[in-house]
A = this chain, B = another copy of it.
Amino acid sequence: MATPRTAISPTREENYPEWYQQVIRAADLAENSPVRGCMVIKPWGYAIWENIQRSLDARFKATGHRNAYFPLFIPLSFLEKEAEHVEGFAKECAVVTHHRLIPGEHGGLVPDPDARLDEPLIVRPTSETIIGAMFAKWVQSYRDLPLLINQWANVVRWEMRTRIFLRTAEFLWQEGHTAHATADEAMAETMQMLDVYADFARTEMALPVLTGRKSPGERFPGAVETFCIEAMMQDRKALQAGTSHFLGQNFARASDIQFLDEHGQRVHAWTTSWGVSTRLIGGLIMAHADDDGLVLPPRLAPAHVVILPVAFKAENPQHVYDWCHALAADLRRVQYGGRPVEVEVDERDIRGGEKSWSWVRRGCPIRLEIGPRDIAQDAVFMGRRDRPASEKVAVPRAEFIDRVAGILEEIQSAIAQRALAFREEHTVRIDSAEDFRAFFTPPEAPDGAPTPIHGGFALAHWSGDAEVERRLNEDLGVTIRCIPPGGGDDEPGTCPFSGRPSPKRVVWAKSY
């Protein structure tokens, strides 16, 4: 077998889905568990999630939301209250039916038939109904509104085909749930949280996202309108990275959330919900990682700088370690992105090359190799993850400390720019059905080879016809990812599939 020229094998071009799995493995982010469809998030992956949480949580609190916690279990009858909602989740939910185990006839334990629940409990796939039941108690008067709540939690959706971070039976997320006195206020909240997500994605994740409305076929079950942020992955597919739902009065009616308004009338509240999940980590990987492994946006990196002492040839190895730790301490006094610069000193007893590559694969923004010669020159030997791994430069110690926050921001900006350029390169305006079909038809591939990367975002006119959408999904596996807000930079036109008039172009793509 030939030695691969890249740290990750296969490369993106060779086999994108397999490359994704290998990046996750090489960066030690997560792995499959012995429990069907459930992942284990390992420390490096979980630390990214903690950074995502901290950053989002601050934004939620700054917009007046408070965290709370609601039960994991939802009584079956609650789920049934909203017809579309239960239809959407009944096919994929974990059902708790017993509350005790007893010894079975054939050895081992079995659910105790005497401990069967009168009403089965569903492990929450989302919490509108159970939170709605509490809101109904808490909201009595217009003075109790708006009610602005967020929950960080695990949820379960029994997916048949799972992929780590992107689609797993259990995942971690946050779900915002709010109730308002008027439709306008609820819609303003829905849009505000969409903006919060878009700002977070762009600023912290270096992820250029489109925002827009979902077509009726892609709405959250029970929502009046669903808005989303959508990002392009490096296989040119779209990833829905977050959603914000205007629920109208549907769930308020289902859960009986009523209040006395200023005129003494009992009316139903208007509600919203909005969420992002550990899927964001999948998006981070697929947007930025390269054929050498993960590339972390510095704003979310668990470590900004790794120091690699090169002490094996040193006369006085302890001096090298001491110098490295003193540098780490000085760097930790610098602030970047609202927190101190995070520094790791890697003293593992393994070969220097292997050690350095392990941090390339994990996506650490800055690597510093420091041996006796660097110390003699009072300098660090720096590699940046946004540049080729072989490109390293000597920087005087004091200058590096002065510049480290700036370099991190350069890296953040460089990977954001790269992702934006990639999206722009693969976004096309399409005006004929033939061009559309050609754009989304993969090139021929040798037998057994994975489908080559192809397609992208197609901006095409659409008249609002659900049948066109259904047919294109069936024929080409393409869906409307979002309907951009307002008039955009777009003119009315004609749907190339139905010939009907269209108010504006919408974004079509294959998706995760």
Contact = CB atoms under 8 A, between A and B. Distances in A.
Interface in A78-101: 78-80, 86, 90-101
Interface in A150-190: 153-154, 156, 158, 170, 172
Interface string A317-359: 0000000000000000000000000000000010000000000
A111 B122 CA distance: 10
B34 A76 contact: no
A134 interface: yes
Contacts of A33: 70-71, 130, 133-134
A441 B96 CA distance: 42
A216 interface: no
A200 interface: no
A76 B108 contact: yes
| This chain's copy number in the assembly | 2
A231 interface: no
Contacts of A66: 43, 46-47
Interface residues of A, number: 63
A370 interface: no
Interface string A363-402: 0000000000000000000000000000000000000000
A142 to B, nearest CB: 12
A468 interface: no
A149 interface: yes
Given A35-B74, A46-B66, A97-B97, 11 more contacts: A35-B121, A38-B71, A38-B72, A40-B134, A42-B68, A43-B66, A71-B170, A76-B101, A80-B108, A86-B109, A91-B100
Interface of A: 31, 33-35, 38-43, 46-47, 49-50, 66-80, 86, 90-102, 108-111, 120-123, 130, 133-134, 143, 149, 153-154, 156, 158, 170, 172, 349
Closest 4 A/B residue pairs (Cβ): A38-B71, A43-B66, A41-B69, A90-B101
